[in-house]
Amino acid sequence: MLKIRNLVAGYGKLKVLKQISMHVKAGEIVTIIGANGAGKTTLLTTVAGLIRAASGDIEFRDQPITSLPAQKIPALGCVMVPEGRQVFAPLSVEENLILGGHVLRREGRQALTEQLAHQYELFPILKQRRSQYAGTLSGGEQQMLAMARALMSRPSLIMMDEPSTGLAPLIVQEIFRVIVRLREEGKTVLLVEQNAKAALGIADRGYVLETGKVILQGSAQDLLANRDVQRAYLGRERIG
C-alpha cells in the first residue's frame, strides 16, 4: 500500500531523513519507534505532503505522491492524525467530524451521515459530546476526535503520530483497542509511538529509526525480543 524508497527530507538545509526505505502492506499495523529527534514525525509529515521531499520516492497504492500537494493526498485514501490532536477548538465535535468528511461531499449527505454514525459507534463518548466545543474536551476525548475526524474520509491508510502522548493508561488502552479494530475492518495503520511496548504489542511489523535512518526492522515479536530494542526502548534487559 505504501512504498518509500531512499527518502531524504527535512527543514531547509537540515536533512532529518537520510535515505529511508520502508513499506507497508495492506491490512497491516506497522509501527515506527525511535528516540525524540529520530525523524519519526518528519517521516509521516513528508508522506502526508506537509514537507516536500528533497529526494527519493513515495508511492501510495502504486501511485507516485512524492510531489503531490498535501490537500490532494487524503482524497486518495491516505490520512494523518497529527501529534497534539490539533482539533478545531471553537467548533463542535460534530462540526470537526463533518470537516473531516469533506472529501465525501460529492457522494451526498447520505455518505456523510453513514460515516458520522460509524464514528459515533467507534467512539461512543463523541456521540454524547457531539454538540460540545472541541476545545472543552479532555485530552483523551480530543485524541478520539482527531482519530474519528481522520476516519471520516474513509481512508485505506491512516497514519498516527504519538496517539498516546499525555493520556491516562485507561485511555491509552482504549485508543489501542480502536487501532486493532481498524485493522479488523480492513484498514492499514502506520503508527509512530513513543510507547514502544504498547505499539509493538499490537503491530504486525516495526521499524526502528535512529538519527534519520532505519537501523532495525522486522516482525513485532522479533523486535520485542531484540536485546538492543529492549535496552533502548522497552526499559529492560532481555529476559532469559
Distance of CA 65 to the CA centre of its chain: 17
Over range 21-29, report the average pLDDT.
97
Q: How confident is the model at residue 114 (pLDDT cuts 50, 70, 90)?
A: very high
Least confident of 15-24, 51-60, 117-126, 230-239: 230-239
Phi, psi of 192, deg, nearest 5: -100, 130
Over range 3-20, report the average pLDDT.
95
The 3-class SS string of 9-24 reads EEECCEEEEEEEEEEE
pLDDT of residue 237: 40
Most confident of 103-112, 166-175, 200-209, 229-238: 200-209
Distance CA 19, CA 31 (A): 18
Distances (CA, A) of 21 to 145, 187, 191, 212: 31, 22, 16, 11
In this structure, are residues 146 and 85 in contact, taking their beta carbons and an 8 Å threshold?
A: yes
Beta bridge partners of 140: none
Distance CA 190, CA 74 (A): 15
pLDDT of residue 235: 67
Q: Return the domain boundaries, the chain.
A: 80-154
